[in-house]
Amino acid sequence: MIISCQNVQKYHGAQLVLKDITFDIREGEKIGLIGRNGCGKTTLFRLLSGEERPDQGQISIRRGSVTGLLAQIQEAGTEETVYAVLQRSFAEPLSWQSRLRELEQQMSSSDAANDGPAWNRLLKEYGSLQEKFEAAGGYEIDASIQRVAAGLGIAVSQYERGFASLSGGEKTKVGLAELLLRRPDVLLLDEPTNHLDMEAIEWLEQYLLAYEGTVLAISHDRYFLDAVVKKVVEIEDGEAITYHTNYSGYQVEKEARLLQQFADYQEQQKKIKQMQESIKRLIEWGNRSNPPNPSFHRRAASMQKALDRMVKIKRPILERKAMDLQLQQEDRTGNQAVILDRISKSYGSRTLFSGASDILRYGETAALIGGNGAGKSTLLRMILGQETPDSGSCTLGSRAAVGYLAQEAVPEDGKLSVLRYFREEAGMEEGEARGQLARFLFYGSDVFKTVANLSGGEWTRLRFAVLMHRRPNLLILDEPTNHLDIDSREALEEALEEFAGTVLAVSHDRYFINRCFGKLWSIEGGRFHAFNGNYEYYKEKQAERAASGTPADNRNSPGGKSTQPKATAPAAIPRKQRSAAAWEQDIAAAEEQLRRIDAAMLAPAIASDAVKLAELQLSRDSAQTELDELYTAWMNEAER
């Protein structure tokens, strides 16, 4: 056992944040700490790192264990460079190295050479220090820094930059590198995948899997949790519940636990009600007797004591309130929602991408991926008309109404309250606005918070509230899941699955991409690639290409066909060149088939046969899909 928390309680002012936290951590375990934003996860980290002390309960950390905390806000001296921050982990070996240089100078002086005893003392100290320096990996300091910095995407060109000049995300990345280089016994990582691109996240996953120490990570990145952790601790209602599994296993186990707890709760409530009725009857019987019978009262009192001693099962909350995001469009776009036609963009001698071509059709969902600085946000700005490509063109389809969620876009007037900001953006009366904000988890006094003081998750929820009100048919989202907790991410995913319009999103959230997107646009190595498929398919193709040594190109879709047709040419869709009568005939036949299946399912002989009903349902799903495809193709043809 390396960490033990027993009945830990913590207040912030008058607010009870952690009510009864109890769990144990063994040496070498990889643990995910999850829970809604504001549930007390970061507070628990501050307690574990020793920054704060619990108000009640006890936290025990094995004597001699070194704990390292990755804070969300990184600090450094005003004059410190990035490389100096990375070297902090090697402060002691570097001090030895400095002393070795001094000793070398002293030993080379003529005075030391002529003084035998003094020279021998210097030589002895030099040998001892050199041995310690070598054992501490002193000769590998630069190589270790380079390995970790490169893995996390910190370029050599940043080494001499002042740490204070970095953005918040860049500071967090450097802070993470410094912490990993320190190699403490216990790593406390608060949202470690924020600000990392996919390549860096995957490198971090492999690093942590091989890490010999203990890892406790606060994370809403479900893919990361599945890849790294073998134990999940959830903070809920101020208490800790432990699941000995990864995130996917946690989901299954939690549902089973809640259902069992609800069944136990109902059973206990039934028993409590029976005992209460029995107590009431015993008292009535005792009072009716003439004279009153004290034995009935004694039995009632005994039963009441047993009821009072009973450990009450808390009624579980089977479904907690989440962001109520419902995305609807005012009108649909034409068949072609976004058209990229051989666009290129460079900054100085650096080419972000060239010859990027593809068509995003109405109803399609595409995720735009690539390393930090690859040009993803630049491409979004071109699509929005905020930036001009060096060559080629980027066009939005007819009737396109864009809903844009920028990354970290804070309004100029941060002093506005949540309520006033929303009213100004949505043009609503106060009562209606407060009702809408409640759907996005802004209750009571929350609506009077200033926008500048909102957390990242609150600010994203507020912008989604505005976006929903505008009813766009083309959503362009830049890192929409950043700062959202898992419940809000799932609410967003469900909303996108129901959304009939077109979605283009920049994201590093692989779980989100796998669930919601059927196409990937990738910018890597100065080239643009399009893939039909989700993130898993993309990784599969990348692995195949790496194994075969084939250079990246634009022919990575299923069947080896290019997914980047020239925007000026229509896509080759079967049955396009047909008369309206032919289309209507096919649609009528498909509708008739659906009607026959529906009639068969209502027949008394079938309605009672589960096997036949299941077979007919499969046939109906297939027929419905065919009809939907016919309607889509017919409308597409009519718009050409």
What is the residue-wise DSSP string for 330-376? SS---SEEEEEEEEEEEETTEEEEEEEEEEEETT-EEEEEE-TTSSH
Burial group, residue 357, by CB count within 10 angstroms (0-12, 13-18, 19+): buried
Q: 72-86, 266-280, 396-410, 431-445: which range is least confident on average?
A: 72-86
Residue labelled with tokens 């088939």: 593
User: Mean pLDDT, to the nearest integer, of 418-424?
Assistant: 87
- The Cα–Cα gap between 162 and 158 comes to 9
Map residue 523 onto helix, strand or coil: strand
User: Mean pLDDT, to the nearest integer, of 613-631?
Assistant: 74
Order across the sheet with 214-218: list the strands. Answer: 56-61, 3-12, 15-25, 239-243, 231-236, 30-34, 214-218, 186-190, 67-70
Tens of pLDDT, residue by residue over 478-501, are 989 988 889 889 999 999 999 989
pTM of the model: 0.73
At 154, is the pLDDT very low, low, confident or very high (cuts 50, 70, 90)?
confident
Per-residue pLDDT at 294: 80
Decide if pLDDT at 211 tops 70: yes
Decide if pLDDT at 22 tops 50: yes
At 561, is the pLDDT very low, low, confident or very high (cuts 50, 70, 90)?
very low
Rank 111-115, 283-287, 354-358, 592-596 by mean pLDDT and report only the highest.
354-358
Q: How far is CA 357 from CA 93, 373, 567, in A?
A: 53, 20, 7
- The Cα–Cα gap between 296 and 341 comes to 90
Per-residue pLDDT at 246: 92
What average pLDDT does the structure give for the chain?
82
Residue labelled with tokens 């876009």: 409
CB 10 within 8 A of CB 54: yes
CB 221 within 8 A of CB 201: yes
Per-residue pLDDT at 293: 75
Per-residue pLDDT at 34: 92
User: Mean pLDDT, to the nearest integer, of 111-138?
Assistant: 77
Rank 142-146, 508-512, 560-564 by mean pLDDT and report only the highest.
508-512
Map residue 424 onto helix, strand or coil: helix
At 621, is the pLDDT very low, low, confident or very high (cuts 50, 70, 90)?
confident
Count of C-beta atoms within a 10 Å radius of residue 429: 9
Per-residue pLDDT at 111: 64
CB 192 within 8 A of CB 69: no
Closest CA to 329 of 366, 380, 363, 365: 363
Per-residue pLDDT at 557: 39
Which residues is 235 bridged to in the sheet?
240
Count of C-beta atoms within a 10 Å radius of residue 185: 18
Q: 74-78, 306-310, 475-479: which range is least confident on average?
A: 74-78
Burial group, residue 101, by CB count within 10 angstroms (0-12, 13-18, 19+): exposed
Closest CA to 512 of 499, 528, 494, 526: 494
Per-residue pLDDT at 574: 38
Rank 63-72, 124-133, 397-406 by mean pLDDT and report only the highest.
397-406
- The Cα–Cα gap between 290 and 462 comes to 70
Tens of pLDDT, residue by residue over 219-232, are 999 999 999 999 99
Per-residue pLDDT at 567: 31
Closest CA to 61 of 33, 35, 27: 27
Closest CA to 488 of 519, 518, 455: 455
Decide if pLDDT at 503 tops 60: yes
Which H or E run includes 31?
strand 30-34
Decide if pLDDT at 558 tops 60: no
Decide if pLDDT at 583 tops 80: no
Tens of pLDDT, residue by residue over 331-373, are 888 888 899 999 999 888 888 888 889 999 998 999 999 888 7
Closest CA to 338 of 282, 405, 393: 393
| pLDDT top residue among 571 and 197 | 197
**Structure tokens belonging to residue 563:** 């997914």
- The Cα–Cα gap between 595 and 258 comes to 41
At 564, is the pLDDT very low, low, confident or very high (cuts 50, 70, 90)?
very low
| pLDDT top residue among 5 and 638 | 5
CB 7 within 8 A of CB 60: no
Order across the sheet with 336-347: list the strands. Answer: 350-361, 336-347, 391-396
What would the DSSP string read from start to end of 463-499?
Answer: HHHHHHHH--SEEEEESTTTT--HHHHHHHHHHHHH-
Q: How far is CA 61 from CA 25, 49, 100, 243, in A?
A: 10, 10, 36, 21
- The Cα–Cα gap between 164 and 175 comes to 12
**Structure tokens belonging to residue 180:** 């990993």
Per-residue pLDDT at 321: 81
- The Cα–Cα gap between 190 and 198 comes to 18
Map residue 388 onto helix, strand or coil: coil
Residue 291, preceding bond cis, omega within 30 degrees? yes
Decide if pLDDT at 45 tops 80: yes
- The Cα–Cα gap between 214 and 27 comes to 6
Per-residue pLDDT at 113: 59
Order across the sheet with 402-405: list the strands. Answer: 402-405, 474-478, 502-506, 365-370, 519-524, 527-532
Rank 38-52, 102-116, 578-592 by mean pLDDT and report only the highest.
38-52
Decide if pLDDT at 190 tops 60: yes
Backbone angles phi, psi at 116, to 5 degrees: -55, -55
Decide if pLDDT at 140 tops 80: yes
Q: How far is CA 595 from CA 463, 621, 635, in A?
A: 44, 12, 22
Q: What is the DSSP letter of 446?
A: G
User: Mean pLDDT, to the nearest integer, of 228-244?
Assistant: 92
